[in-house]
Amino acid sequence: MYSVVLENISHVYPDGTEGLKNINLNIKSGDFVFLLGRSGSGKSTLLNLLTKEFNPTKGKIYFGQEDITTMEKKRIPFYRRKIGIIKEDTMLLENKTIYDNIKIALLATEKINSNTDYNIMSALGVVGMRKKWDSFPSELSKGERSRVALARAIINNPCVIVADEPTAGLDNDASWDIMNLFDEINRRKVTIIMATHEKDLVTIMKKRVVTLYNGSLLGDVKNGRYGDLI
């Protein structure tokens, strides 16, 4: 399967802001990694590099054997099929039903066939949202919207899920539900790379924790033991 390796990654935004400074990171297939850090520490920058929103100003990123920083533009959609992406804003289309919101993610990868209906309902089942298949996003709670975003991220059977603060704005119970869903998906050997600033959740989950501070890598520990680093 696919490991994700960052080699000497630095990113400077066009206005001169240093988003990341010389990051080295090796994420094995099946890992569950939290990117922990305060607002502005570089978490989203790192995830956006992984999803190829833009390229780093320096360094290489390997997805499996391939250096994605030199990937041809036309191959990017194919690359993105292998990763499930969850952004801070769930980005659901408000005028489409939950079912159609997920179907669109499938359409993006031309995978519509006789199993489509079954697959969409299974993904909704994984996140406990089958009953809401014909609801509209505005009819859902924040926690339910996050669940749908997760269903959409897993619909193409990705081997890596990249999630940027998926519990932002959720109350404690809803955050836990989402975390447990990620854990369940991770048990199916899907790599999870999740940015968060919620230290309490990270402590209890006992996963690998990569700590960012001002764009630098401050720590990389197992079992949630990041201590007093930030």
Q: What residues make contact with Mg ion under the rule CB under 5 A?
A: 43-44
Strand order in the sheet with 208-213: 83-86, 160-164, 191-196, 32-36, 208-213, 216-221
Q: Which is nearer to ligand ADP, 17 or 115 (CB)?
A: 17
Q: Which is nearer to ligand ADP, 44 or 101 (CB)?
A: 44
Q: Which is nearer to ligand ADP, 54 or 78 (CB)?
A: 54
Q: How far is the CB of 15 from ligand ADP (least distance, A)?
A: 5
Q: How far is the CB of 59 from ligand ADP (least distance, A)?
A: 15
Q: Which two tokens stand for residue 34?
A: 């939290």
Q: Which is nearer to Mg ion, 44 or 51 (CB)?
A: 44
Q: How far is the CB of 19 from ligand ADP (least distance, A)?
A: 4
Name residue, tokens 């990041």. 226
Q: How far is the CB of 185 from Mg ion (least distance, A)?
A: 21
Q: Which is nearer to Mg ion, 124 or 194 (CB)?
A: 194
Residue 219 binds what, of ligand ADP, Mg ion, none (CB under 5 to 8 Å, by partner type)? none
Strand order in the sheet with 66-67: 18-27, 4-12, 58-63, 66-67
Residue 166 binds what, of ligand ADP, Mg ion, none (CB under 5 to 8 Å, by partner type)? none
Name residue, tokens 């999630």. 163
Whether 31 and 208 have beta carbons less than 8 Å apart is answered as yes
Residue ranges binding ligand ADP (CB under 6 A): 13, 15, 17, 19, 37, 39-45
Residue 41 binds what, of ligand ADP, Mg ion, none (CB under 5 to 8 Å, by partner type)? ligand ADP
In this structure, how many other beta carbons lie within 10 angstroms of the beta carbon of residue 36? 28
Q: How far is the CB of 204 from Mg ion (least distance, A)?
A: 21
Residue 19 binds what, of ligand ADP, Mg ion, none (CB under 5 to 8 Å, by partner type)? ligand ADP
Which residue type sits at 188?
A: R
Element (H, E) at 210: strand 208-213
In this structure, how many other beta carbons lie within 10 angstroms of the beta carbon of residue 162? 24
Q: Which two tokens stand for residue 38?
A: 């305060």
Residue nearest to Mg ion (CB): 44
Spacing of C-alpha 114 from chain mean position: 28
